[in-house]
Structure 1
């Protein structure tokens, strides 16, 4: 491990959990709900989870951004668990936000911290004009390290 690197978690070959890296000479992104980089252990299998929106189990979609984000993370958790994995095995998230502005960051940060705790994955937020279906306001996809 190189000097100047803070780690929130340490991966071993047997755990197959990602190693979180937040270099001390860069801005600490963890208060905002993500990590600078994540290392996937050698030989690990990786799964890609398609974008999860805020639809409930009946396909219903709230018009409220915060409700959609909360439901999308619940849907992501269900997809992760269906793989036999846990949130601390997620290496990377990509989130898509319709008409993103700074007022939405608190909702996003609260939900990602609630799901991932200290094991914050690398993350990219992409502002978009719209998503697959008109009432969707948020979508999250994930890369997961499998045991």
Structure 2
């Protein structure tokens, strides 16, 4: 069974507390439960991680590329400026693996600085503004892409 890394960037450990009008009232534990279940339904093993540390997230991209793990990534604030993370995410694609960028909110409908993603250019696809459901769609896309 293929293992998919679902990685989440800064402040996503505060889901349910941080701006519930933007990010919803469900927390990271619920996101983990849902992603794990959706993965099982698709024949995938899902490992959900969250970090506020950019270097740790970059390391996870190296790990994914080295181990052959597709990635669903919500880079959160790293989306807008982390060229190091973008370079590491590029390595996932270079390894022939899907990398789906996901955002709970729609960054294009928010603050001006949120409208640019340095990750989108290296991602296989991007899903925004659909809440936790975006992760499900990203996992479905990964399952389809690895079957092709």
- TM-score after normalising by structure 1: 0.32
Structure of larger gyration radius: 1
- TM-score after normalising by structure 2: 0.32
Greater helix share, 1 or 2? 2
